[in-house]
Amino acid sequence: MSARRLATMVVAGALLGACAPIPRPAVLDELEHVRAGAVAAESKRYAPGAFARAEKLRGEALAALDKKDRSGAQILGEHSIAAHAYAHALSRVARAEAAETEAKAQSSTGEASLAGLEAEQARVGAEVDALDMRIKVARDAQPVVPSGKADADREKARLAAARSLALQARLLCGAARLLIAPAEPAGAQPTAAQPIAAQPAGAQPAGAQPVVAQPAAAQPASADLMAQLDSATAAIRKLDAELAEVGGSARPIPAPIDQASRARAGCLAALTAARRAATPVTRAPGAGDALLAELSAAGTWSPVRDDRGIVVTLRGLFAGNALTKAGEARLRDLARVAAAHPSFPVAVVVHTDRDISSREEPAWSARADAVVRALGPAPGASAGGASPATQPIAPFVAGSAAPVVDPGGSERARNARVEVVFVTPETL
């Protein structure tokens, strides 16, 4: 072969090589596989910015291949795959954050629904308790079948029961008056046969000056409530006259046990009506439950609940007619509780361990007043300072009509006690 022919073949081969296409880098095929998968679709949804950058690098890789720049296409294709991996990582983070947000929203919705159910349950429970109280009041108000005559011992027991019911009626009406009209007179001055020796305000024994601080939120009493309370109070006055007649008569007279039951029912109805008028309809009240739980949690008060409200019973407060230092300390602690619950009027009820004469009533009234002063605002406390109770505080002397142990037994001294009654302002 001549040299000329060999040169011609070399030139032709070079020309043919120059016209042949550049082989496509395998990384671009891998890139197309990545783009077609679910990962890319997820990246496009949750990380659109990072996905767009990966697509831009892919476009640049294809443009480099079109320009016969195989090395550039290879590098840009690898960058695009890495960018797709980064976009996938961002999309997973974004998807997790979206799931967390949705879970929190569902949790908040569930908590709100649960809170609503609990509130509804509490409201229904309060309505059930209120209905129970109304049934009790209605049952007590039913006409009583006359008791008829009985032997002397039974009449004596009936008389003691009638006096106890009369006392309960006075205390219930006193609690109702503290809610309805705490600054109104509560009745006539009592006598020895009428053992309440002090009332929330109005005519009282000498020295009885109860603290009656009108709450700022107090509303005027409705005429209907006042009329109901006045009617119940009139029934008590009539009952007192009958009890005095029985006690002072030389001949046997049946004890007014039926009238006493009706008087108590009338006062309980007045107290219930006052509470119902003050009970909010938009929420379950539960104020009495909260106070009872607070006093119970303290572990030193042993509170109980009765028709008046939450009752704390104290003994050993006095040395003679003066409070002991320990008694004053106990009452100061209780005053702080009262200050924390200003919607509860407070009744101070002093019970004796024996019948007291009219000459002894002032001394027992002085004891009740001493307790009232200990529970009331501190002397010289300013209006803007931390004053104890701002609610009405009223003293009552109950005498011996409500013993807790046998009045003739060896433990009769336990009957001498002081009840601090937080009058529940609502239906619960």
Strand (E) or helix (H) holding 395: strand 393-399
Q: H-type helices in 145-209, by residue range?
A: 152-180
Tokens 């309980």 sit at which residue?
Answer: 268
- Asked if 194 and 329 count as a contact pair (C-beta separation under 8 A), the reply is no
Joined tokens for residue 134: 């109304």
pTM for the full predicted model: 0.60
Rounded to whole angstroms, the Cα distance separating 349 from 353 reads: 13
Q: How many other C-beta atoms lie within 10 A of the C-beta of residue 104?
A: 10
pLDDT in tens, the chain (428 residues): 566 666 666 555 555 555 556 677 887 788 788 888 887 888 888 888 888 888 888 888 888 888 888 888 788 888 888 888 888 888 888 888 888 888 888 888 888 888 888 777 777 777 777 777 777 666 666 655 555 555 678 888 888 999 999 999 999 999 999 998 876 544 333 333 333 433 333 333 333 333 333 343 344 568 899 999 999 999 999 999 999 888 776 667 788 999 999 999 999 999 999 998 888 766 666 888 899 999 999 999 999 999 999 999 999 999 988 999 999 999 999 999 999 999 999 999 999 999 999 899 999 999 999 999 999 876 555 444 444 446 799 999 999 999 999 998 999 999 999 999 999 998 86
Q: Is 95 exposed, middle or buried (0-12, 13-18, 19+ CB in 10 A)?
A: middle
**Residue 263 is encoded by which pair of tokens?**
């008087």
Report the C-alpha gap between 3 and 308 in whole angstroms: 132
Query: Is 205 in contact with 186 (CB distance < 8 Å)?
Result: no
User: Rounded to whole angstroms, what are the CA distances from 271 to 115, 167, 185?
Assistant: 32, 15, 16
Compute the distance between CA of residue 15 and CA of residue 371 in angstroms, rounded to an integer. Answer: 121
Query: To 10 degrees, the CA torsion angle through 135, 141, 145, 147?
Result: 110
